[in-house]
Chain A
Amino acid sequence: DVKVTQSSRYLVKRTGEKVFLECVQDMDHENMFWYRQDPGLGLRLIYFSYDVKMKEKGDIPEGYSVSREKKERFSLILESASTNQTSMYLCASSKAGQNTEAFFGQGTRLTVV
């Protein structure tokens, strides 16, 4: 069974804290993605990576950074958490190539207080 695992299902952090969201996939996929999902706004792409140490900005990268030191792991970092970053965060991965779907993790519900 293919698997994308996110380190936490629920997380509560304080404003100003540095927050790490971890994602690991066991499918040897080249591509990994971070999205956030908010009611009425759908899934929005924050960052993606198509190879180790490579990263590309998505539609809403402000306030976030990412790290991909190993192929299987893609970390999302909130440098200084703010209340408007309260959201559901979804990690996904896919194999390089034309006809490849993305597999999603279960999501991390982050609340910043």
Chain B
Amino acid sequence: GQNIDQPTEMTATEGAIVQINCTYQTSGFNGLFWYQQHAGEAPTFLSYNVLDGLEEKGRFSSFLSRSKGYSYLLLKELQMKDSASYLCAVRVRHSGYALNFGKGTSLLVTP
């Protein structure tokens, strides 16, 4: 499998900006995904990067550096509803279209 690392827990304040990092070691890299998962619910897609650079989508942005095996998810203007787990996932060529997930980062947004 792939080695995908992300922090276990983070805390941030409502209205602030938070950056969740993800590092990976893999061969045959074929895309990196970020998912959000609220407690007791299914993961939902947030963003996808396959080329280096920043992808922006409203309050959420995701960055990828393939040479460094590094990505981050940036959440701006944090809201209480952003409290959730954030899952980094890598797709590799030899596993078809399956995603390999990190263990997830639990984000707590406080007032």
A33 B103 Cβ-Cβ under 8 A = no
Interface string of B26-51 (1 = CB under 8 A from A): 00001101000000011111001010
Residue ranges of A at the interface with B (Cβ–Cβ < 8 Å)? 4, 31, 33, 35, 40-45, 48, 50, 56, 58-59, 90, 92, 94, 96, 98-107
**Is A31's CB under 8 angstroms from B43's CB?**
no
Chain B residue with the shortest CB-CB distance to A41: B103
Cα distance A8–B103 when bound, in Å? Answer: 25
**A99 and B50 in contact, given A42-B104, A59-B1, A90-B42 (Cβ under 8 angstroms):** yes
Q: What is the number of contacts between chain A and chain B, taking CB atoms within 8 Å?
A: 64
Shortest CB–CB separation between residue B85 and chain A, in angstroms?
9
B87 contacts the other chain (CB 8 A): yes
Q: A56 vs B98: C-alpha distance in the bound complex, in angstroms?
A: 10
C-alpha spacing A102/B97, complex, angstroms: 9
Best-buried of B30, B41, B43, B89 by chain A (most CB within 10 Å): B43
| B97 and A100 form a contact (CB under 8 A) | yes
